[in-house]
């Protein structure tokens, strides 16, 4: 079968032929036939080989892809469509043996340190498979993983009702945060990006009007023009560009909150004195609890028509490198790849 793989610890990916995966009879893995898999910002980092993803080097070669939907081929869910949580817990540490899987510290990642979903088939633990409701299209179901990341960011931020919110970064995570912030009753949601015409167009189709392109004018000037000079209560960073944290803090009211969701390729120099004097709160947000996955699927059923513009391209896996070029160049929003299956 075809698979998109990271084969060497340097820039680049390869579309190669590999044997179909086999199930270990001693594991609880099931086989999933992939129907759609999304290109994530993390996959772009793996492609360009930024330092924040060098941790996967011992696992190479590895098939990437971790945002996906497919049909279970084996096990109790055989024949059912499923989305798969890509974070695989160890099952043996004290947290896992106590049933507290969210606290596991010895994880492996599907599409990072074990083979992922840019292939026709992938192995996944049964406990990681979440049934997809009938009527939810594959194209939306493939967005489940990034939507859970957006949900976690809102949880970390706290109550947004009546708050003025800035979302820095108009990609899939940022779009999800903006949508959920609006749904949570935020008084205003502003989204900023850098030369992000395609993503801004998707946001307009999702009903957002307060969009700021920092390639044309400074963020501070444009944002304060939209807020009548007022500062923001909460800023979400979803850019992956560490320097934007300083921009965020400069637009934040006293006692305001910055929630950082991006994975960054380099460290940040940060002047802590203004942060201390303004009692700014800098919070990191990463992995949601496992219980969020069914909730995300239910949200998709509720918000499906609004979410639809987030998917801009659906390409066959054979055109994976073209899909990555579209994503790198910001010519689309979420690019999905569909593996070709042999139905003979």
Question: pLDDT tens, 313-337?
Answer: 999 999 999 999 999 999 989 999 9
Question: pLDDT tens, 164-180?
Answer: 999 999 999 999 999 99
Q: What is the rounded (10 degree) CA torsion for 172, 178, 180, 183? A: -150
- Kindly state the DSSP code that residue 191 receives in the 8-state scheme: E
- Over pLDDT 70: what percentage of the chain? 99
- The answer to whether residues 280 and 325 belong to one domain is no
Last residue of a domain, one of 238, 256, 284: 284
Task: Write out the DSSP string of 148-170.
Answer: HHHHHHHHHH---TT-EEEEE--
Q: Is residue 35 pLDDT above 50, yes or no?
A: yes
Tell me if 343 is assigned to some domain: no
Tokens, residue 156: 């970390």
Please report which confidence band the pLDDT of residue 265 belongs to, taking 50, 70 and 90 as the band edges.
confident
CA distance 143 to 261: 17
- The answer to whether residues 131 and 23 belong to one domain is yes
Q: What is the mean pLDDT of residues 192-198?
A: 95
- The answer to whether residues 134 and 60 belong to one domain is yes
Question: pLDDT tens, 135-165?
Answer: 999 999 999 999 999 999 999 999 999 999 9
Please report which confidence band the pLDDT of residue 264 belongs to, taking 50, 70 and 90 as the band edges.
confident
CA distance 210 to 154: 19
- The answer to whether residues 62 and 73 belong to one domain is yes
Q: What is the mean pLDDT of residues 48-57?
A: 93
Q: What is the domain-level CATH number for residue 194?
A: 3.40.50.720
Q: What is the mean pLDDT of residues 109-118?
A: 98
Number of domains in the chain: 2
Tell me if 40 is assigned to some domain: yes
CA distance 264 to 239: 9
Task: Write out the DSSP string of 241-288.
Answer: -TTHHHHHHHTEEEEEEEEE----SS-----HHHHHHTT-EEEE--PP
Q: What is the mean pLDDT of residues 75-101?
A: 96
Q: What per-residue confidence (pLDDT) applies to 342?
A: 64
What does residue 297 show for φ and ψ, rounded to 5 degrees? Answer: -65, -40
Q: Is residue 344 pLDDT above 80, yes or no?
A: no
Residue 120 belongs to what domain range?
Answer: 2-145+289-338
Q: What is the mean pLDDT of residues 122-138?
A: 97
Q: What is the mean pLDDT of residues 192-210?
A: 96
- The answer to whether residues 323 and 276 belong to one domain is no
My answer on whether omega of the bond before 61 falls inside 30° of 0, hence cis, is yes
């Amino acid at each position: 079968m075809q698979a998109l793989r990271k084969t060497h610890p340097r820039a680049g990916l390869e579309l190669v032929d590999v044997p179909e995966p086999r199930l270990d009879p001693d594991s609880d893995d099931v086989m999933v036939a992939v129907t759609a898999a999304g290109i994530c910002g993390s996959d772009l980092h793996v492609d360009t080989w930024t330092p924040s993803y060098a941790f996967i080097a011992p696992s190479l070669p590895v098939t990437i892809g971790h945002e996906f939907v497919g049909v279970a081929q084996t096990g109790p869910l055989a024949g059912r469509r499923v989305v798969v949580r890509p974070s695989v817990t160890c099952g043996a540490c004290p947290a896992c043996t106590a049933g507290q899987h969210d606290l596991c510290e010895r994880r492996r990642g599907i599409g990072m340190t074990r083979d992922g979903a840019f292939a026709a088939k992938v192995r996944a633990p049964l406990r990681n498979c979440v049934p997809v409701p009938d009527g939810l299209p594959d194209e939306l179901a493939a967005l489940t993983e990034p939507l859970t990341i957006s949900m976690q960011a809102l949880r970390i931020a706290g109550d947004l009702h009546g708050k003025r919110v800035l979302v820095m970064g108009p990609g899939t995570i940022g779009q999800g945060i903006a949508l959920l912030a609006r749904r949570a009753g935020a008084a205003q949601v502003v989204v900023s990006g850098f030369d992000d015409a395609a993503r801004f167009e998707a946001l307009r189709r999702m009903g957002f009007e307060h969009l700021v392109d920092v390639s044309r004018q400074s963020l501070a000037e444009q944002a304060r023009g939209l807020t009548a000079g007022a500062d923001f209560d909460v800023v979400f960073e979803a850019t992956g560009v560490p320097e934007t944290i300083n921009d965020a803090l400069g637009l934040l009211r006293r006692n305001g909150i910055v929630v950082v969701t991006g994975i960054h390729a380099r460290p940040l120099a940060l002047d802590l004195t203004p942060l201390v004097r303004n009692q700014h709160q800098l919070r990191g947000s990463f992995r949601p609890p496992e219980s969020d996955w069914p909730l995300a699927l239910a949200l998709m059923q509720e918000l499906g028509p609004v979410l639809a513009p987030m998917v801009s391209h659906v390409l066959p896996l054979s055109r994976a490198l073209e899909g990555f070029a579209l994503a790198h160049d910001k010519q689309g929003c979420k690019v999905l790849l569909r593996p070709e299956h042999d139905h003979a």
